[in-house]
Amino acid sequence: MDERILVEGLKQGDEAAFKTIVETWQNMVYNTALGIVQNAEDAEDIAQEVFVQVYQSISSFKGESKFSTWLYRITVTKSLDHERKKKRKKRFGFVRSIFGDQNEVLVNPPDFHHPGVTLDNKENAAVLFKAISELPENQKVAFTLNKVEGLSYQEVSDVMKTSVSSVESLMHRAKNNLRKKLEDHYNRGK
Amino acid sequence: MSKQSDIGKRIDETLESLRGVQRAELSPWFFTRVKARLERDQHNIWETAGSFMARPAIAIAGLVLILCINAFIVFEKDTLPSDPASISSNITEPVEEYVLNAANSNYDYENLEP
């Protein structure tokens, strides 16, 4: 169905339109969140939040961009918020551990295995995702949208509200940083 | 030298490991969960407002605001003139002015003629 008709339907409060929207874009939203937060439960939680926000703020969507671009923006924002919150919690846990509170246990997350990666690439992809998680936010978003979601540089620039040349530069820096991190990783012998 | 080239090869392979990655998929009951969450969120508006107000930063800021308003009202009250005579003289001035003006109005001239 045409996305404009669906959006208009949702603006009128049509539940069938909302159901079609969720079913059409749920995997796109989930996969993007999963690429950024690298945890299946958290990614599903974020996907739910994204569609709740879509339902509540559909009136603010004016159709200036594609609906999918708007959805990507909400997903990226929520995923980055989630990451920041997690980092804050980790830092707070570290401070508590310095002051002798042993209730907060710092656990390094296990390697993330993306379900869409082929079996022969599984190990390498886990190493790559670990390196991606250490990239600065903008580089992480650009790299994830391009490599995990398969968006073109033009589409990535639309989502990130920046120019194609900026995306090219972000991708270049992301690849250089990843190369350095992977080199450290393989030199350490793990 | 060969170790470095091995590492270089592994890095290239790792960077290419996401080529052809399939999209991760959600369970078919995802929409039901979204609906449940939407209903839960709508029920929880008052709870959310309550928990927002109960945040220490918000509660303290609210308290400080109330104290400031109280202090402002008290100090403003103190700056009002305490002599009731001066207040009443201020009020009578415009009335007198009005009476004078009224006597000189065109209406009165017209009424003086028989």
DSSP state of B23: P
* pLDDT tens for chain B, residues 1 to 114: 577 788 999 999 999 999 999 999 999 999 999 999 999 987 776 777 777 788 888 889 999 999 999 998 888 877 766 565 555 555 555 556 665 555 555 555 555 555
Nearest residue on chain B to A182, alpha-carbon basis: B11
Chain B residues close to A149, C-beta within 8 Å: 23
Amino acid at A85: K
- What residues contact residue A110 under an 8 Å CB cut-off, 6+ apart? none
* Chain B contact probe: residue of A45, A48, A147, A148 with most B CBs at under 10 A: A48
Prediction ipTM score:
0.84
CB atoms closer than 10 angstroms to residue A185: 18
* pLDDT tens for chain A, residues 1 to 190: 689 999 999 999 999 999 999 999 999 999 999 999 999 999 999 999 999 999 999 999 999 999 999 999 999 999 999 999 998 887 777 666 666 655 544 556 678 999 999 999 999 999 999 999 999 999 999 999 999 999 999 999 999 999 999 999 999 999 999 999 999 999 987 5
Predicted confidence (pLDDT) per residue in A90-120, tens digit: 777 766 666 665 554 455 667 899 999 999 9
Chain B residues close to A175, C-beta within 8 Å: 15
- Interchain CB distance below 8 Å, A117 and B18: yes
- Interchain CB distance below 8 Å, A121 and B18: yes
- Interchain CB distance below 8 Å, B30 and A31: no
The pTM for the full model equals 0.74
Burial class of residue B6, CB neighbours in 10 A (0-12, 13-18, 19+): exposed
Tokens read off for A54 = 């879509």
- Interchain CB distance below 8 Å, A44 and B22: no
C-alpha to C-alpha distance for B51 and B49, rounded to whole angstroms = 6
pLDDT for position B79:
73
C-alpha to C-alpha distance for A40 and A30, rounded to whole angstroms = 9
- Interchain CB distance below 8 Å, A118 and B7: no
